[in-house]
Amino acid sequence: MTKKIALSGASGQMGRVLRPALLQRGVALRSAGGRQALQPLVEGEDVMHGDLCDPAVVDRLLAGVDVLIHLAGTSVERPLPEIIDNNLRGLVEVYEGARRQGVRRVVFASSNHAIGMYPVAERLRLDCALRPDGFYGLSKAWGEALARMYWDQHGIESVCVRIGSCLARPTEPRHLSTWFGHEDLLHFIDRCIQAPPLGFLVVWGVSANTRSWWDNRGAEALGYVPRQNAEDYAAEILAGPNPLDAVGRHFQGGSFAAMHYTRGEIAADGR
Ligand code: 15L
């Protein structure tokens, strides 16, 4: 049976990459923008927009849907009230809507900022303790726990993808570890749509970077096999400037980790 896929956050940075690519692959897609209407990319495209804190909007997005790719929400550090509305309240409305509409699986866009306070010297497994680097990262930690609860209580599957730096190409030294290339993103989402029942799964959204900090062992059931590697750009990137200060270079969250940091200077050796 053809699966119906919903994409929230379709006008965001990743949504703008995914929407045309999924349409081109013939995926039965419904795309949602936020405040502004989406212009159809192809004739008759199933598009909508609205505030996901409104249950009626969520029901419109999720009616008849098998898998929701949920990218909507605040995607950077912002004042707490905005984060609470978009990433906490909004996410509850989305999962409640998934329950009402019988959505089988949600792909939840978590972030590396849920673990951003780990030093770059550490290698992380999927079961590492969460160490958010701000209110945004904290909202992603909360979102992962919420996703877990909806699996445990209501049997709604979730793939929580801790996205690194999803860009067409890496542009700074940190990205040599965090890059999530667009080809890998498309393959990843394809696996999230196709994979057999997974229950609740956390996975790093990262390419096969030689300098990666993140180990995806334990997520094999998804069948995600990245092929891109930021190392292909290393010589060029390392010859250029590093925009991060000493604090940002020390922590995996980079500039997000440095934003509110008051513990003092990190020593020159990065420790
Ligand atoms: C994120 O979670 C952000 O949404 C994105 O804008 C980047 O900052 C990315 O993390 C990153 O850490 O590079």
115, 124 Cβ separation under 8 angstroms = yes
269 assigned to some structural domain: no
Residue 136 known to be catalytic: yes
109 assigned to some structural domain: yes
Q: 78: burial class by Cβ within 10 Å (0-12, 13-18, 19+)?
A: middle
Contacts of residue 268, Cβ cutoff 8 Å, sequence gap at least 6 = 246
> Does the C-beta of 165 come closer than 6 Å to ligand 1?
yes
Nearest ligand 1 atom to alpha carbon 253: 12
| Structure confidence at residue 235 as a pLDDT band (50, 70, 90) | very high
267 assigned to some structural domain: no
Nearest ligand 1 atom to alpha carbon 111: 2
pTM, whole model, 2 decimals?
Answer: 0.96
> Does the C-beta of 87 come closer than 6 Å to ligand 1?
no
Tens digits of residue pLDDT in 112-135: 999 999 999 999 999 999 999 999
Tens digits of residue pLDDT in 143-190: 999 999 999 999 999 999 999 999 999 999 999 999 999 999 999 999
Q: How far is the CA of 63 from the centre of ligand 1 (A)?
A: 30
Is 60 exceeded by the pLDDT of residue 269?
no
Is 60 exceeded by the pLDDT of residue 271?
no
Q: Quick one: CA dihedral 89, 216, 255, 251, positive or negative?
A: positive
270 assigned to some structural domain: no
Is 60 exceeded by the pLDDT of residue 24?
yes
137 assigned to some structural domain: yes
Section 254-269 average pLDDT: 86
265 assigned to some structural domain: no
Number of H helices, E strands in the chain: 10, 9
Tens digits of residue pLDDT in 44-91: 999 999 999 999 999 999 999 999 999 999 999 999 999 999 999 999
Which pLDDT does position 230 carry in this prediction? 98
Our count of domains for the chain comes to 1
User: Looking at ligand 1, which residue's alpha carbon is closest to its atom 7?
Assistant: 165
Q: How far is the CA of 76 from the centre of ligand 1 (A)?
A: 7
> Does the C-beta of 238 come closer than 6 Å to ligand 1?
no
Which pLDDT does position 268 carry in this prediction? 56
246 assigned to some structural domain: yes
Which pLDDT does position 267 carry in this prediction? 63
Q: How far is the CA of 112 from the centre of ligand 1 (A)?
A: 7
Is 80 exceeded by the pLDDT of residue 209?
yes
**CATH code of residue 69:** 3.40.50.720
Q: How many residues does the chain have?
A: 271
Q: Which domain holds residue 188?
A: 4-259
271 assigned to some structural domain: no
